[in-house]
A and B are shown apart, each in its own frame.
Chain A
Amino acid sequence: MAAVTATPVKATPPRRLIGKYVQPAAFLIVGLLVPTIVTNVPAFEDRWLPLTTMVLCAIFVLFTLGLNIVVGYAGLLDLGYVAFFLFGAYTAAWLMSDFFFQIDPGIHIWSAAVPTAPGINISFWIVLPIAALVAAIAGVIIGAPTLRLKSDYLALVTLGFGEILPQVFRNGESIKGFNLSNGTKGIAPVNAIDMYWLSWTGVVDDKINVFDYTTRYYVIFALCLLFVLVSIRLRDGKLGRAWLAIREDELAASLMGVPLMRTKLWAYGVGAAAGGIGGAFYCVSLGGVNVDTFNFQFSVIVLCMVILGGMANVYGCILGAVILTWVNYTGMKEIGNAINNTFGTTIEMPHYQFLIFGFVLVLMMLFRRDGILPAARQKQSRAVDEQIEKIGTEEVPA
């Protein structure tokens, strides 16, 4: 046995550098400049890239980052992510409106509501962690009995929860006389985001008013940044390694001392927290909740964002979320308009949305299975697999 004594000096591969510096820097710079760019280019603001869509993009980025922890990192297929979105949104609606008007005089904690308003009126910034916590607890409660199931069964059960919860809220107008969700009428209006803690600088008003999409964008962008940090820190730590190990080989992981249940529940909890925060912001940004928002389609779209962008890669997920949200809310419509204006046709592009969606996903699976920006891990291991596949086909000519 020849002893290999020389330690090979290994240069950091360029891919790693891109992942480590270029992608985060691009995300940060582009993200910060979005409102400036959008508001200064009329074609963007009026048609192609309205700030309202950019706010939605950022909300979906948050959802996608959350689902990525569950699906991408831990490898647990969750088709009921809408449940956490729902909990976050309703938590904000309960705690930031006069919905519980029975409480009079109302509870006010640094709220943007008028001081005489009844109900629970708590500052958005306090509601955020509460919404995250409520969603995380919901995640753990849903997860505890279901996470013992293996992949396909888990997907089905989460799908079930994702269907049941909206139904409960749809019919939750009078649970033994108690109005939980106001049923199909939803809860509105919800208080605006209060900004007292920053308004003394003169940069922003006391609260974010209805048309102020720039401030709103920066708030959700900051939340996205926070979750990018959380995702990356967790991925590189003890918990992230345990998630990966479970994804790779659950049995081996448990025999190496990884507690399966607890580790999976953390993934569910953290992923759900992102859903809760996104939900709370969504609710406040729209000024209310409507139960029709929470449907199966939402879960599927967010999953598509994770897959399209690149499973387990934070920046891939961001890209996937931005692209799909833009296509959904602006792209289809504007591309349709552009085609109609040029050729004098009357195609209703948005009607073909799912046709095109499906087609793109099929193409992706054929040519770029790991998404637009795959995680370094997947990319390299796939490359090796493909080489092996090739060798296989060469050796056995058909």
Chain B
Amino acid sequence: MTELLLDANQIRVEFGGLVAVNDVDFTIPVGSIVALIGPNGAGKTTFFNVLTGLYKPTAGTVMFDGKAVAGRAPHQIAALGLARTFQNIRLFGTMTAAENVMVAMHPHLKGGLWQTILGTPGQRREEHEARDTARELIDFCGVRGDSDEFAKNLSYGDQRRLEVARALALRPKLLLLDEPTAGMNPQESDDFIAFVRRVRDEKNLTVLLIEHDMKVVMGVSERITVLEYGSKIAEGTGDQIRTNERVVEAYLGKAATTGAST
């Protein structure tokens, strides 16, 4: 049994009468790349929000890196090493690319109020290093625009890459990517697959992604979990999922699996 970085146990989220996530068990082994897929409205993003502390699950527990996530505020969970990107880009528009990345270094920077006001040498050095690190991360993620450009003025692709750079600045153990290739062309998606692998290997982290592009999912994931109407309907390797009847049904409808008999 491999070591688990994340262990979500019987997660249930209800909004009033609606069950958005229905008793889902979910684990992520250290160092793996796993994907969460499912038709629109299957509860994938809700599940993400539970992991990152935005929603409190109605029932169930999440253990991350041996610590319980429940009851911690989002910023505390982030500081534990859980970073994410967003389905619809949520950069800080009127901050530069470098500043965006530096915001996510918040938990790691020591300079407090007084050091900042007094401009102590330690604080200055720290700021300098933070800026350099931010530029490195921006380069690493392949943002082609200027790191001093406002985030909102960057191209769409750059904004997506900058979100990853910002998430990496938290020095996460687990990187959550919410539909990272939305709006990318096939070439960019291929580059992205290679990039995710490179991030995992060079930064020594674990990746969980939500994705609709099956080519990306199959190309990059070592394990895939499928949700439908909040319930887990399948779990396994790419090949297992590809041939799983329930999954094909969920995506293409029942007719697809039973031939044209109806």
Q: Is the CB of B111 within 8 A of A238?
A: yes
Residues of B within 8 A of A229 (CB): 117
Q: Does A258 contact B (CB under 8 A)?
A: yes
Q: Does A165 contact B (CB under 8 A)?
A: no
Residues of B within 8 A of A251 (CB): 54, 74, 90
Residue of A nearest to B78 (CB): A257
Residues of A within 8 A of B83 (CB): 255-256
Q: Does B155 contact A (CB under 8 A)?
A: no
Of B54, B74, B79, B152, most A-chain CB atoms within 10 Å: B74
Distance in angstroms from A224 CB to nearest chain B CB is 15
Q: Is the CB of B104 within 8 A of A256?
A: yes
Interface readout for A326-359 with B: 1 if CB under 8 Å, 0 if not?
0000000000000000000000000000000000
Point out the residue from B84, B91, B119, B187 that lies within 8 Å of A255, measured CB to CB.
Answer: B84
Interface readout for B114-141 with A: 1 if CB under 8 Å, 0 if not?
0011010001000100000000000000
Q: Is the CB of A258 within 8 A of B106?
A: yes
Residues of A within 8 A of B144 (CB): 4
Among B30-38, B94-102, B230-238, B249-257, the one that faces the other chain is B94-102
Cα–Cα distance between A233 and B102 once the two chains are bound (Å): 16
Cα–Cα distance between A237 and B146 once the two chains are bound (Å): 21
Q: Is the CB of B113 within 8 A of A253?
A: no
Q: Is the CB of B99 within 8 A of A256?
A: no
Residues of A within 8 A of B146 (CB): 8, 10
Among A124-132, A313-321, A374-382, the one that faces the other chain is A374-382
Residues of B within 8 A of A244 (CB): 92, 94-95, 99, 103
Q: Does B75 contact A (CB under 8 A)?
A: yes
Q: Does B148 contact A (CB under 8 A)?
A: yes
Binding site for B on A (CB under 8 A): 1, 4, 8, 10, 229-230, 233-234, 236-239, 241-242, 244-245, 248-249, 251-260, 266, 270, 377-378, 380-381, 384
Cα–Cα distance between A253 and B102 once the two chains are bound (Å): 11
Contact sample, A vs B, 25 pairs, CB 8 Å cutoff: A1-B188, A10-B148, A233-B117, A236-B127, A238-B106, A238-B116, A239-B116, A244-B94, A244-B99, A248-B93, A249-B92, A252-B92, A254-B75, A255-B52, A255-B74, A256-B103, A257-B78, A257-B104, A257-B107, A259-B76, A260-B75, A270-B113, A377-B95, A381-B94, A381-B150
Residues of A within 8 A of B84 (CB): 255
Distance in angstroms from A136 CB to nearest chain B CB is 11
Residue of B nearest to A242 (CB): B106
Distance in angstroms from B56 CB to nearest chain A CB is 14
Q: Does B182 contact A (CB under 8 A)?
A: no
Point out the residue from A237, A245, A256 that lies within 8 Å of B116, measured CB to CB.
Answer: A237
Residue of B nearest to A377 (CB): B94
Q: Does B26 contact A (CB under 8 A)?
A: no
